[in-house]
A and B are shown apart, each in its own frame.
Chain A
Amino acid sequence: AQSVTQPDIHITVSEGASLELRCNYSYGATPYLFWYVQSPGQGLQLLLKYFSGDTLVQGIKGFEAEFKRSQSSFNLRKPSVHWSDAAEYFCAVGSYSGGGADGLTFGKGTHLIIQP
């Protein structure tokens, strides 16, 4: 079964500084990979996704992520964070077993705090 690990429960970054959120996955075949953001009391917003092709994926709000098969990683980056980026970030892996959709398996999330 697939799994997703987000090793950092909390990360604190100064406004304007760069950001990297780590995500490692375990999956036997080529995964579908996603990053979602959730603001307090809100739903899930898709930041970006990787299905195939270019391993560097551009998303919304200035975020990007790089798929590294050799490291089983899909880390999320942003060159300069804004106070509005404070939120919970989830990495997820999707699978397709051939018999139908298996849904998304989520990591436990990383809580991003922005310092002024």
Chain B
Amino acid sequence: DTAVSQTPKYLVTQMGNDKSIKCEQNLGHDTMYWYKQDSKKFLKIMFSYNNKELIINETVPNRFSPKSPDKAHLNLHINSLELGDSAVYFCASSQDHRGRSYTFGSGTRLTVV
């Protein structure tokens, strides 16, 4: 009965590959987000989606693209993976655009070799 679920939990891949991380929320929230936690544990927002519209797009490489087929899903697609992309990626959702009832997924640890 997980509220925000991400798959896979671990992902090991070679440089240059393309990969996707899936995120689904069953809370009926309007807004979903992707965060990146680097090796120093610093968390930074990458994207957010509200009602299938991209609201903010931080200065991340355009190799990263969020895709939202519906309000309950926000997938993260990464092209041409680089060593520096290794990190933990967290999906999150909130009840509305004011950020209430913020809920995080358990994270996806991406390792690029």
> How many inter-chain residue pairs (CB < 8 Å) link A and B?
72
Chain A residues in 8 Å Cβ range of B43 = 44, 90, 92, 104, 106
CB nearest to B97 among chain A residues: A101
Q: Is A46's CB under 8 angstroms from B102's CB?
A: yes
A-B contact pairs, 24 of them (CB 8 A): A42-B107, A43-B90, A43-B104, A43-B105, A43-B106, A44-B104, A46-B103, A46-B104, A49-B102, A88-B41, A95-B99, A100-B50, A100-B56, A101-B31, A101-B33, A101-B55, A101-B94, A101-B98, A102-B48, A103-B35, A103-B48, A103-B56, A105-B45, A106-B42
A34 to B106, CA, bound (A): 18
Chain A residues in 8 Å Cβ range of B98 = 32, 96, 101
Chain B residues in 8 Å Cβ range of A96 = 97-99
Beyond the given A44-B107, A100-B55, A105-B45, could you list 13 further A-B residue pairs with CB under 8 A, ordered by the A residue number? A42-B106, A43-B105, A44-B104, A90-B43, A92-B43, A94-B102, A95-B99, A96-B99, A100-B31, A100-B97, A102-B48, A103-B99, A104-B99
B77 at the interface (CB under 8 A from A): no
Task: Tell me the count of chain B residues lying within 8 A, CB to CB, of chain A.
Answer: 26
Interface of A is mostly: strand
A112 to B96, CA, bound (A): 32
Interface size class of A (residues with CB under 8 A): 20 to 34
Q: Is A102's CB under 8 angstroms from B56's CB?
A: yes
A28 at the interface (CB under 8 A from B): no
A32 to B99, CA, bound (A): 8
